[in-house]
Structure 1
Amino acid sequence: MTALLTHYLTLCKEQHIQKDEAQIGALKKLDNLSQNLLNYVTTPSFPFSLWVKKKPLRGLYIYGGVGRGKSMLMDLFFDHLKDVPKQRYHFHEFMLMIHTEVKTIMDTKGGNTDHPLEKIAEKLASQALVICFDEFHIKDITDAMLLSRLMGFLWKQGIVLVATSNFPPDELYKDGYQRNLILPFFKEISKKLETYNLNGTQDYRQLFKAEKERYFLTSNSKSTQHLQTIFDHLRQGSPITSKKLSLKKRHWVIPKYAGGVAWFQFDEICGQALGASDYLELTHHVHTVLVSGIPELADESLDRVKRLITLIDVLYDREINFAASGAKPLTELYTDEKENELFERTSSRLISMTNYSQ
């Protein structure tokens, strides 16, 4: 048995994670790739310039729903990939870096350069044989066109790509503007990277419905314990960590995250300058949101009230599971007249989402 799979099974045995056959299948693919990479690089100082002269290795593209353990598998693969030059990027941060690099090259050359992306690809190839992407996705046609050209140059350099995504290659940028222009790129991804479907049979909505109580008064000394029970039940043994989210040039953090479950204190999700686009981005990474300590909202600033309204609207529309604790019953959380009409809808949605009854 390989070190990668042995490590995974040890984590399962120690109950850090729950054994999952689809994950084991992905690990076998990753282990096979790591062995091929080690054979490809005969010594740690193997010249980068010769990689392009050898037959390039096929990479791996792992896709599956939120909470399936894609990032954990990438962690294991990246940590166990020894003696192979490698780089790992969150995909959003990678694209920001590429845009910055393109601008720098164009500014330096006064716009007189035909292939800034080729120069960037050469630079990346001088640093690594393997590039790993977390959460590969495409949001607009500009990024899609840029990425298509960059990947072409990277593949010419012999770079091996390993990526995780919520979507299979043929569903990237689905229904996007002028998507037909980049369909050849998506087909090329399937040629250059073996695809693996990590989707399992677990229905997190059914798991969540098993939790009959989903809203708890903070006056109950066990309210945090109740949320912890829900968190542990739904994370299915996935390791607990924080998770950084990025939208354009802004970053914010899920302070407690595991297996597609995010847990916030009220101030962490409604006390900072976040809006609908941020909450929508959150839904791309989670199937369940927990919020502790919703205060009596009549005493809160109007901005926080509006953020809670927006958060619940987004979670409700995206069918994200929700559980919380608060200072008052849901029907009494907000009594001010300023946003009372809007909050009546929010209160109704909260009652529906939490299966709440007084």
Structure 2
Amino acid sequence: MSSSSAAVSGIGRIPEAVPLSLCTREPYVPADRLVAEMVPPPRFDSVRFDTYIPDPNQPSQTEAVRVLSGFATGLGGAPAGGTAGKRRLFGFGRPRKKTPTGPRGVYLDGGYGVGKTHLLASLWHAAPAEPELKAFGTFVELTNLVGALGFQKTVQTLSGHRLVCIDEFELDDPGDTVLVSTLLGKLVDAGVALAATSNTLPGKLGEGRFAAADFLREIQGLSAHFRALRIDGEDYRHRGLPEAPAPYSDEQVTKAAYATEGASLDEFPPLLDHLARVHPSRYGALTDGLKAVCLTDVQPVPDQSTALRLVVLADRLYDREVPVLASGLPFDKLFSEDMLNGGYRKKYFRAISRLTALARDAKGLVEH
């Protein structure tokens, strides 16, 4: 019996509309929407450098704001696109005769929860260019854009930008490594400035995930495009905050879903199965219009492929500020010890951190 059926037959009167279900959604995202949505997500729409609060015990955070502010200022001048634009020297307004040497981008390296996405979005907002001349997207969204438009069309589209920001930059397989290395090289040649965030230094990308040593040339080529900027600190999402709420009962979650307009209600295991049928680049569209996600019977994630899909869903829910109410196991028990000690451990810890923050946001759904 589904959660929705159980709610109606086993809990008593719930005189509200039937909740939505993620498992019934299979969104199609046209290529023009992919391009149009390459802007900071709702959570980071209003962030700026002056809304970033550096930890006074971590001077690298203050330094990051200073460096990125200067980086944004250096983006003045004509846009990269067009015949004249492609001959602009990055950071100045004069024509260039050849591709300049040295890093033409900034790469924010640090643990989860130190505010890297906040800073990357702030850079996007601060860059002196019209929104259509700068792009912001996750690494997954960038690679999917290539799949939707084709490589040459993607190069043509993004070469007209002054700045391309890539959040959650990670290399999970050889195909992505060769693809992105070539793509970014083309963009740099076109005069596009780059900025990225990651939990891994550029030269260490891919370690523990595939035979990265076999793609050393591509990885070193990627590294050459960036100046790495280390940001230290603890996870701000839990700094000084009370412990996340324990999971609720199936009954509490179901009642809250029926009482919350725009909430979805799904059992966790079927949802994991459904995620395998939807490309991760569409997980944002999967959550369109949702005010809350309610999950029953949360269980350990069975395998790494499923776990990586769940990480992407957690990122999209966090970006869109969608609270998550759940029953079953707490979120810090989702991933096995082997997963938390493996090559993707930073992704899993980020997912736990973000889901925990969203669980805290959902507490009011039960209380009200």
Q: Which residue of 1 aligns with 2:108?
A: 62
Q: Which residue of 2 aligns with 1:314?
A: 334
Separation of aligned partners in 2, 1:164 and 1:266: 30
Gaps of 5+ in 1: 1-5, 103-116, 225-245, 256-262, 295-307, 326-358
Question: Number of residue pairs matched?
Answer: 251
TM-score by structure 1 length?
0.55
| Alpha-carbon offset, residue 128 of structure 1 | 0.5
With over 3 angstroms needed to count, the CA separation of the structure-2 counterparts of 1:293 and 1:118, relative to structure 1, is closer
Q: Which residue of 2 aligns with 1:122?
A: 156
Residue 86 of structure 2 is aligned with which of 40, 49, 57?
Answer: 49
8 Å CA contact retained: 1:266, 1:292: yes
| Alpha-carbon offset, residue 254 of structure 1 | 8.1
8 Å CA contact retained: 1:132, 1:162: yes
**Secondary structure, aligned partner of 1:47:** helix
Q: Which residue of 2 aligns with 1:131?
A: 164
Separation of aligned partners in 2, 1:27 and 1:148: 27
Q: Relative contact order (C-alpha < 8 Å, sep 6+): which is higher?
A: 2
8 Å CA contact retained: 1:63, 1:168: yes
Aligned residues: CA RMSD: 4.6
State yes or no: 1:164 paired with 2:197: yes
Q: How does 1:252-267 map to 2 (within 5 A)?
A: 265-266=294-295
State yes or no: 1:35 paired with 2:73: yes
State yes or no: 1:89 paired with 2:137: yes
Q: Which residue of 1 aligns with 2:32?
A: none
| Alpha-carbon offset, residue 90 of structure 1 | 1.8
**Secondary structure, aligned partner of 1:189:** helix
With over 3 angstroms needed to count, the CA separation of the structure-2 counterparts of 1:291 and 1:119, relative to structure 1, is closer
8 Å CA contact retained: 1:30, 1:77: yes
| Alpha-carbon offset, residue 168 of structure 1 | 0.9
State yes or no: 1:251 paired with 2:283: yes
Gaps of 5+ in 2: 1-46, 89-95, 257-277, 341-348, 361-368
- Looking at secondary structure, tell me which structure has more strand per residue: 1
With over 3 angstroms needed to count, the CA separation of the structure-2 counterparts of 1:43 and 1:183, relative to structure 1, is closer
With over 3 angstroms needed to count, the CA separation of the structure-2 counterparts of 1:128 and 1:204, relative to structure 1, is closer
**Secondary structure, aligned partner of 1:83:** coil
**Secondary structure, aligned partner of 1:53:** coil
| Alpha-carbon offset, residue 277 of structure 1 | 3.5
Separation of aligned partners in 2, 1:48 and 1:128: 9
With over 3 angstroms needed to count, the CA separation of the structure-2 counterparts of 1:197 and 1:184, relative to structure 1, is same
Higher Cα Rg: structure 1 or 2? 1
| Alpha-carbon offset, residue 161 of structure 1 | 0.9
8 Å CA contact retained: 1:276, 1:311: no
List per-residue Cα deviations over 1:300-352 (Å, max 9, x = no partner): xxxxxxxx579775335337478779xxxxxxxxxxxxxxxxxxxxxxxxxxx
With over 3 angstroms needed to count, the CA separation of the structure-2 counterparts of 1:309 and 1:254, relative to structure 1, is farther
Q: Which residue of 2 aligns with 1:198?
A: 231
